[in-house]
Structure 1
Amino acid sequence: MTTPFVHLRVHSEFSLVDGLIRLKPLIKAAVEQGTPALALTDEANLFALVKYYTGAQGAGLKPLIGSDLWLANPHDEEHPYRLTLLAMDATGYRNLTELISRGWVEGQRQGRALLERSWVMAQSEGLIALSGGREGDIGRHLLSDHHAEARALLDEWNAAFPGRYYLELTRTGRALEEECVHLSVDLAVETQTPVVATNDVRFLEREDFWAHETRVAIGEGKALDDPRRERHYTEEQYLKTPEEMAELFSDIPEALENSVMIAARCNVDVRLGEIFLPEYGIPEGMTQEEFFRKISHDGLTERLDFLYPAERYPRDGAEYAEIDARYRKRLDFELDIILQMGFPGYFLIVMDFIQWAKDNDVPVGPGRGSGAGSLVAYAQKITDLDPLEYDLLFERFLNPERVSMPDFDVDFCMEKRDRVIEYVAERYGRNAVSQIVTFGTMAAKAVVRDVARAQGKPYSLGDKLSKLIPFEVGMTLGKAIEDEPQLKEFLEADEEAQEIWEMALKLEGITRGTGKHAGGVVIAPTKLTDFSPLLCDEDGSGLRVQYDKNDIEDAGLVKFDFLGLRTLTIIDWAVEMVDKVRAARGEEPLNIDAIPLDDVPTFDMLKKAETTAVFQLESRGMKELIKRLLPDSLEDMIALVALFRPGPLQSGMVDDFINRKHGRAEISYPHPDYQHELLKPVLEPTYGIILYQEQVMQIAQVMAGYSLGQADMLRRAMGKKKPEEMAKQRAGFMEGCAENGIDKDLAGNIFDLVEKFAGYGFNKSHSAAYALVSYQTAWLKAHYPGPFMAAVLSTEMDNLDKVVPLIEECRSLGLTVTPPNVNVGGYKFTVDAEGRVIYGLGAIRGVGEGPIGAIVEAREAEGDFRDLFDFCRRVDPQRMNKRTLEALIRAGALDNLGPSRAVLAASLDDALKAAAQSQTNQNLGMMDMFGEAFANEPDDDAADAYADYRRVRDWSDKERLAGEKDTLGLYLTGHPIDEYEHELSRFVSTRIVDLKPSREPQRVAGLVVGFAP
């Protein structure tokens, strides 16, 4: 018979620096040991709760919820006390989540969550406390011979946790542990306080000790043999069997029995799988359904007024009546499903924050993912693409036959996205809104380097081993050794490398640290801690729930995606500049959402593949595809996004698509040998090619009579390629075709073809939404190249590798790019009245936001700067030093303030002295008769400010260009090779940028500016 014992203190890999146990092996081991329950008590977190709770319940193991916490030590800040809390019921669970959250938000020190004893005592209801053994406050006082203080503390704990406070006993071979056990037992007898045995488990098996030590050393950034590294753990801290624990505590059997009693007292029912949405305020006198239907129909009316204006489609005419009926039928169909599935609140919340964004000058994308297939979303202005116009399917987004949360991924301008999140926090409550945690793991390349460092191996060895691992997404150590023969040979030949490798295999994939989800935001109906503990950075920022994006939905919270898209920032900045150009011409501001989608100049530019900086169309491979496809409609652009992926490119689908489009191959629906007239309407937009997932669904609908919900299940099954499921789907498809009188062989052949192409199929809703953004950027480039390129350069100014080719693109477009100018623009690139692109001051090395802000403020206060003396006098010297001024001169930003950069540099010291003197005089109240602080700078417009400096030697071209290279990262007003242009032109046949595949030898010339390793 198994000795009764339950482990109540266990750290998993989610303790991040001092736990090594993976959850599935932990659950398996506990079940095999015959233990009835097990507590997971990761340090100050419940990161693993959902995974552990569902996994343990599925295996028949009772999951106990708890956490190891640190209590602030008023006597020694560096050594806080340990306390373990276990939740008994729903109240205890909420108190635990609130205490953990408070530790991070209010008590965090040096990356560790600290709780005040008073906080714990005030929220003790529903919790069981374990004293922490030799690391707890009572244990420390006992070991330091402060027995009276220990007794007083115990009285306080027993008062706060009546019958729920246990003195914890451990025997893992650590210093002073046995002494603490004896002292604790004596105190327990004296005070009638129960004791409980734990093993403070950190790894699964005894053999894992050194792997755990290595993990700890990596977390501490120290080598294993570093004499300064504290040794906190022993090889006894593994998941001992109940029999081993019984032998260890044979002299204190009640300590084992109490572990089982505690497990019996803990009965938390975590509500998983339910959905808890925040309330959206409904106008008085209306139900949620009435309001939802009304705003949807009203919104559709607005959309139809734009799509089908009354002057062209009379509202009393038959044509408009048919259009209106078609849209209303689809809308009501969607509304019925959304209401039936219980999701109107989700739509209303998304509609609310998107409308706020649009009303507050925050650019929002037209849609992303399958959400663009919803007409309700289009009517509510959540998306901006008409799903009927582009044959987008609602069931691809929300399938009534497979209940799952809708998921709108919403793109916002990167610069302004946080304003929308801030609005949501204000609207729904700051204690109900947060972002979501992510977990980083020890990946193949990094873990090898980390282990080498921890083992004290030479850096060169870890570096070489890491570099032999192929750089590929999802690469593992096991796959690396299969794919890379050199790696295998190196490991066989080097014993130290083999030691690194063996340890790295044990640590690979272990959770290493936390991060923040790129766009996920949780909005809870009540305070977040009713559902999950919180985590934050030490300064209080970066608040996030402790469940990741997969677990958060299981916990009942709904994730809303607030994604930052740089392209929307580009469009926003470009339109801002365009509006200034249009205002100067007396034109209305540009509405980028109302531009014509069949613009000839835009498609002419696209056909020439002049798509540098055009969203999604700028790569070399895409440009080659564009040259072959020659897109002439938005449908073609939608297809481009879907075609430019490895599957279609490698399958021959792309060649077939292009040949059919240009009449070089017969268009069949879908194949010359087996086609059916029912498929023509489905496949006509793609010349008979099955390109989109939505087409797979429509084929099943028209041929086999599937509902689109059933067809979505077919699409999913084809994506997973499970033989049993596919056999079942094939039978259903064949049966449906037979009922529609379709030949058996034809049905089988079409099913096979659909199955083949389903693997390549792309979500058309996503492709269409992103194609629209691509088109908008292409339209801006075709019609307003200056503002567009200035906006693109502004978003890339920190990335010189991108700025250089973008400057070249400006020149190829016939745009003049001038040096930065302190009298024009500011931090970002901009355009002047003549349409020239002015280099952004923020792109100058050594000139930050502070100096630029000072320049702009001074210019706005008193107008343009006249000369360098005027500039130095007016710009705040607290934000502008001599080094910054030198960088401005060398970059050409002060060219319009003096005759040459050499003269400006020569006069700089005197200009600074004059400015300082002027400031001093002003501070002393020494003013001239006109009320100006007098100084030695020229003040008369007619005076020559540079009379004393004009004779200095002018900078050579090389000096001037070197200054630009140092400050801007590139040559702007020329190039060092220019002086050789005449000689080179006699024997160079082409420019490097113009090189094309050719059998003829080509001669080029260039200047070496750097070496790549």
Structure 2
Amino acid sequence: MFLNVHSHFSLRYGTMSIERIVETAVKLGITEMVLTDINNSSGCMAFIRLCRQAGIRPIIGMEYRKNNRLLYLGIARNKEGMRELNEFLSEHNLNGTELPERAPVFRNAYVLYTLTNAPQQLADHERIGIRHTELRKLIRKDLSSIRERLVIFHPVTVAGKIEYRLHEYLRAIDLNTLLSKVGQEDTCAPDENFLSPLVLEQLFDSHAYIVENTRALLKNCHTDDYVFGRLNRKTFTGCKQDDMALLRKLSADGMVYRYGPDDKKIAKKILDELKVIDDLDFSAYFLIVYDIIRYSMSRGYYHVGRGSGANSVVAYCLRITDVDPIKLDLYFERFLNPKRSAPPDFDIDYSWDEREDIQDYIFKRYGKKYTALLGTMSTFKDRSVIREIGKVLGLAKSEIDSFTDPTQDARNRDNATFNRIMAIYTYMKDMPNQRSIHAGGILISEEPITYYTALDLPPKGMPTVQWDMYEAEAIGLDKLDILSQRGIGHIKEAANLILENKKRKVDVHDVRSFLVDEKVNFQLKSGDTIGCFYIESPAMRQLLKKLRCEDYLTLVAASSIIRPGVASSGMMKNYIHYFHHPDEVQYLHPVMEEQLQETYGVMVYQEDVIKVCHHYAGLDMADADVLRRAMSGKYRSREEFDKLVEKFFAKAAEIGRDGETTKEVWRQVSSFAGYSFSKAHSASYAVESYQSLYLKTYFPMEFMVAVLNNYGGFYQRWLYVHELKKTGANVHLPCVNHSEAKVCINGADVYLGLIGVQGLENHYVEKIPQERRERGIYQNFEDFIRRTCITLEQCILLIRLGALRFTGRTKKALLWDVYNYLGQTTRPNNHSELFAVPVKNYKMPDLPDELLESAYQELELLGYPLSLSMFDLLKTDYRGDVKADNLIRYEGKTVKMLGNYVCEKTVHTKNNKKMWFGTFLDIDGNFFDTTHFPNSTPIYPFRGKGCYLIEGKVVTDFGFPSIEVTRFAKLPIKDNPVIG
């Protein structure tokens, strides 16, 4: 009898989860119902699954609204009907058009109007829903034409009176208005909650035919044709046998490229893997990923293949990944074995400016009916919930801040208003708030994807499903992750610049030679890795130096132990110590020695967790894999996870493990939660690190230019300019006769790009170099103004930065001149003139440029000075007693240093106090690091960019020196001599 049930996926409207709806229905004896969320089908597949488990007949549909006004309901008679409903909404979402006042003709779905908005003539598939409170309107009315079309309309939105109040808050948030201004027309009726079927039927006792009509409608609807399980595209070529034949051929060709033609051991390994791939029917999956890689390489794009698929020699031979699983002893069977139903993950990274083309190719190659981006569901979270509630209550910002800022006096939160907010917060926390888009997931289905979901069109501009990765996995749709990152852009552009500037072609996928290059490994060991993917942060550079890392396998481990889960548990410190002193390793248990010798008894990878859970605690591999998935955040059932934890301890005790040892083993396992990498994942990161490091080692200028042109990385832009200057490059300020939009290089001369000039409009960033390329260099100041039609304000920006220095005139002279050209009301144009009228020249006094003035102008317009260093701007000539390169000689002593601020990191101690780690450059441009403990530091020690006087004690950790700060102050700089 319930044709219009709303879940909390009716965003900021419904209040009940799918689970709660089903639980409530079971308690009330409801045997069938229809889920019809507002303008979405996010919960439909979960509704089907949960209803089936509970013995309820699930029926699905959708409620269509326009501007918060109910138009009609669509109720699917079958799977085809749901596709029609989803495609109807999708068409309007994707084209940005409004829903019509009357629904189209659906062949496999009913349309339900309310009594107040029903059309005069009803089609065969159309019905009118009537509330029990509206029955009186039927008295003395001729019903002959609609009698068979009337059905029960009892919407379900809330669970009771308390949740109705929650519903009102949600509506106020949705309408962005005060709670007091939410009217009846904005909310559901107060009685929109579940009743027992008997009570609902009794309300229609006087009109029994309406009950019978409703039963007939429900009887004619079903979801039996939904079968969940392998829903991805089943073949690549159209034939499974041809798929396998093609995969065999491509693997054989790839083996020659990777290993040579005569390696029988590799050939056998490939055949073994192919058999498992064939048996599990994953040939199409591998071929689709290969096809994407083939296309991207044909376009000259660079990629990095990550994920568990990197454990496969077949994937390595197909060039999906550059990780050699043989070299790393990665076991394919762990990731794809006869017991596994889902394919291994393939995460493919591309440059930030190439990913959209890859996505576009996938949509065109595999069809828009079958392809969509994966969605996500963002929820109401912690402080944001309190802020939203405070806003609709009309509270002042300062009062809301007092409720959300834990540093403010707790007494501010000891009042009735705060208690009221927290009461609503309890209900609202973690409810869905809005649909969004997954970072990189793409789905390719065998059937049209609209059988399972309607589609949104987020700002990304590509059709996106209305549910998340968990729901995709639950119904059997496995995602491909097509991701983007700046590191790929660094590599790609560096290779192009090397070809242009050095006439050298670099194969960045020739990783095997990079790994054994002595010069590259020496650079790794020295920690000289600024700009290199994943290994440039202060923490990573410190780790490289502490490990004295000079080979690939050690870097693979470093890429994992740097993760917070390993570091915070103390296992990173243990690993470094045992790495240097392997004879001192003390294993918790013989099983730990057997399984973790490679990592000195320390769990470093997700695989280590599985090994320990299986071999130490006796969990089977399937349960161990669930734990592994939970560690990486891919398993959302906390209840199931807790059961496995209990099982871990119970099984360990059952096979006679010592209780205290088991507790310590579990402490180490649980510290990984959400942070650990798989070994293949770490190996993939390490491969990309080596690609970057090779380019930085042999082609440092081109590499640093590429880093700048791809918007840097971990650090601010000025540091990459500093690194570029260290390579011997002659770095020039932007110049209208040499600069492009981006940084450009010619030999050892590097010109900063116009795009980096703060305040310069994009139009001129593109126009100035384009005009120069088309019609030659600018001959003089007047020529530049006439050809670019630049405005007075924009021209002054370029003058002040020195971008018009080709004229041979000083900035002050040009600032005087510019008013002769652009100071009038009419602006020059760039049309050809019959007679060029020269501008009068006036005799000017000598107006020289000064370095200090220029430095301040660069600081303002670039964000950093190029003509002088930050040290040159200081009022003091003092440069510190000690420099970074000999800091280690002062271990245990108190020193004074001068440092140019690079970056900082805030962490919380066990007592929830703040402490900081700082990174600085000394006068020679070398790095050093500081630690600021809460008991010797102000509330917040740093005061932004600039130079600091630092006093503290030199301490070392595995040979790496840093300063424990006792006194710390930012130094004043010289006054700005502003140009008049």
Q: Shorter-chain TM-score category? A: 0.7 to 0.9
**2:709 counterpart residue number:** 794
Counterpart in the other structure of 1:188: 143
**Corresponding residue to 1:450 among 376, 388, 392:** 388
Instruction: Give 1:561's aligned residue.
Output: 481
Instruction: Name the CA shift for 1:947/1:935 in 2 (closer, same or farther; >3 Å).
Output: closer
Residue 518 (1) aligns with residue 436 (2) = no
- Structure 1 pair 762/531, CA: closer, same or farther in 2 (3 Å)? closer
Matched, 1:840 2:835: no
The 1-side partners of 2:394 and 2:624 are apart by 58
Give CA-to-partner distance per residue, 1:581-616, whole Å, 9 cap, x none.
Answer: 221xxx444545355213333333333323333222
Q: 1:582 aligns with which of 502, 515, 525?
A: 502
Structure 1 residues 723 and 654: CA distance shift in structure 2, 3 A: closer
The answer (yes or no) to whether the contact 1:914–1:935 under 8 Å persists in 2 is no
- The equivalent of 1:478 in structure 2 is none
Deviates more, 1:377-386 or 1:895-904: 895-904
Instruction: Classify 1:282/1:506 alpha carbon distance in 2 versus 1 (closer, same or farther; 3 Å).
Output: closer
Instruction: Please report how far the alpha carbon of residue 42 of structure 1 lies from its aligned counterpart in structure 2 after TM superposition.
Output: 0.8
Measure how far apart 1:419 and its partner are. Answer: 0.6
1:402 to 2:315 alignment: no
1:899 aligns with 2:899: no
Match of 2:648 in 1: 726
Among candidates 316, 322, 329, match of residue 384 of structure 1: 322
Distance 1:219 1:780, change over 3 A: same
SS in 1 for 2:461: coil
Q: CA–CA distance in 2 between the matches of 1:85 and 1:527? A: 19
Q: Give the equivalent residue in structure 2 for 1:95.
A: 84
Instruction: Provide the C-alpha distance between the structure 2 equivalents of 1:705 and 1:209, rounded to a whole number of angstroms.
Output: 49
- AA matched with 2:487: T
- CA drift of 1:625 comes to 2.0
Per-residue CA deviation, residues 167-224 of structure 1 (Å, 9 max, x unaligned), is 211256xxxx677x438x8353344433112222221212222211110110111111
* C-alpha displacement of 1:227: 7.7
How far is the alpha carbon of 1:331 from its aligned partner?
0.8
Within 2, Cα distance between the matches of 1:526 and 1:602? 49
Per-residue deviation, 1:402: 2.7
CA contact (8 A) 1:272 1:554 kept: no
Matching residue within 150, 159, 174 for 1:219: 174
Aligned to 1:127: 109
Q: Distance in 1 between matches of 2:773 and 2:843?
A: 29
1:70: how far off? Answer: 4.1
**Residues 87 and 128, structure 1, Cα contact 8 Å, conserved in 2:** yes
What is the Cα deviation at residue 808 of structure 1?
A: 4.0
1:422 has 2:360 as partner? yes
SS of residue in 1 equivalent to 2:333: coil
Using a 3 Å threshold, how does the CA distance of structure 1 residues 88 and 706 change in structure 2: closer, same or farther? closer
Q: Residue 13 of structure 1 contacts residue 511 of structure 1 at CA under 8 Å; is this kept in 2?
A: yes
Q: Which residue of 2 aligns with 1:639?
A: 557
Q: Which has the larger share of helix? A: 1
Q: Matched residues in 1 for 2:875 and 2:232: separation? A: 68
Q: Deviations over 1:845-895 (max 9, x none)?
A: 2224322221121121133323222222323x3xx4332222222233223
**Residue 233 of structure 1 pairs with residue 188 of structure 2:** yes
Mean Cα displacement is larger for which, 650-659 or 847-856? 650-659
Note the C-alpha offset of 1:714. Answer: 9.2
Match of 2:330, SS state, is: coil
Shift of 1:635: 0.8
Secondary structure of the corresponding residue to residue 577 of structure 2: helix
Partner of 1:430: helix, strand, or coil?
Answer: coil
Displacement, 1:422? 1.1
The structure with more strand, counted as a fraction of residues: 2
CA contact (8 A) 2:172 2:182 kept: no
Kindly state the Cα deviation for residue 454 of structure 1 after the two structures are TM-superposed.
0.8
Structure 2 partner of 1:774: 689
Choose 766-775 or 897-906, whichever is displaced more: 897-906
In structure 2, distance between residues paired with 1:206 and 1:706: 47
Q: What is the alpha-carbon distance in structure 2 between the residues aligned to residue 206 and residue 698 of structure 1?
A: 51
Q: For the Cα contact (< 8 Å) 2:80–2:451, is it kept in 1?
A: no
Work out whether 1:256 is the aligned partner of 2:242. no
Question: In the aligned structure 1, how far is the partner of 2:186 from the partner of 2:630?
Answer: 53
Please tell me whether residue 593 in structure 1 is matched to residue 510 in structure 2: yes
1:105 match: secondary structure: helix
Match status 1:166 vs 2:112? no
- Structure 2 residue corresponding to 1:785, chosen from 700, 721, 739: 700
| Alignment-derived partner of residue 309 in structure 1 | none
Contact 1:524 1:557 in 2 (8 A): yes
Distance 1:580 1:11 in 2: 61
State the SS of the aligned residue for 1:671: coil
Q: Give the 3 Å change call, closer, same or farther, for CA 400–440 of structure 1 in structure 2.
A: same
Q: Does 1:331 align with 2:270?
A: yes
**Which residue of the other structure, out of 978, 987, 999, is the alignment partner of 2:953?**
999
Which structure is larger by alpha-carbon Rg, 1 or 2? Answer: 1
Which residue is 2:774 aligned to? Answer: 861
Distance 1:667 1:716, change over 3 A: farther
* Match in the other structure for 1:475: none
Deviation at 1:501, TM superposition (A): 1.8
CA RMSD of aligned residues (A): 3.9
Corresponding residue SS for 1:193: helix
Q: Using the TM superposition, give the Cα deviation of residue 420 of structure 1 relative to its aligned residue in structure 2, in angstroms.
A: 0.8
Deviations 1:704-745 (A, max 9, x none): 99999998689779996835643686599x7xxxxxxxxx99
Identity %: 25
Relative to structure 1, the CA distance from residue 452 to residue 728 in structure 2 (aligned partners, 3 Å threshold; closer, same or farther) is closer
Deviations 1:251-280 (Å, cap 9, x if unpaired)?
Answer: 333333433332222112252432233365
Q: Which residue number corresponds to residue 413 of structure 1?
A: 351
- Aligned ranges 1:571-970 → 2 under 5 Å: 571-583=491-503, 587-589=504-506, 591=508, 593-594=510-511, 595-662=513-580, 664-666=581-583, 671=587, 674=590, 679=594, 685-686=598-599, 689-694=602-607, 722=644, 725-726=647-648, 758-759=669-670, 760=672, 762-796=677-711, 802-811=716-725, 815-836=729-750, 838-875=751-788, 877=789, 880-912=790-822, 919=829, 922=832, 927=834, 934-936=836-838, 948=842, 950-951=844-845, 953-954=847-848, 956-957=850-851, 959-970=853-864
Contact 2:28 2:196 in 1 (8 A): yes
> Residue 514 of structure 2: SS of its match in structure 1?
coil
**Distance apart, 1:382 and its partner CA:** 1.1
CA contact (8 A) 1:11 1:41 kept: yes
How far apart are the structure 2 equivalents of 1:206 and 1:614?
58
SS for the counterpart of 1:437 is strand
Match for 1:900: what amino acid?
T
Query: Aligned-pair distance for 1:393?
Result: 1.6
Match of 1:737 in 2: none
TM-score by length of 2: 0.82
SS of corresponding position for 1:15: coil
Moved more, 996-1005 or 386-395: 996-1005
The answer to which of 540-549 and 292-301 deviates more is 540-549
2:306, 2:16 → 1: CA distance?
A: 38
Match of 1:269?
224
Q: Quote the offset at 1:347 in angstroms.
A: 0.4
Task: Note if contact 1:902-1:952 (Cα within 8 Å) is conserved in structure 2.
Answer: no
Cα separation, 1, equivalents of 2:7 and 2:238: 49
Count of paired positions: 890
Deviation at 1:915, TM superposition (A): 14
What residue in structure 1 maps to residue 370 of structure 2? 432
- 2:549 counterpart of 1:549: no
Alpha-carbon distance change, 522 to 612 in structure 1, aligned in 2, over 3 angstroms: same
In structure 2, the CA distance between the partners of 1:107 and 1:566, relative to structure 1 (3 Å rule), is closer
How far, CA to CA, are the matches of 1:612 and 1:199 in structure 2?
64
Once the two structures are TM-superposed, the CA of residue 327 in structure 1 deviates from its matched residue by 0.6
Task: Give the corresponding residue for 1:143.
Answer: none
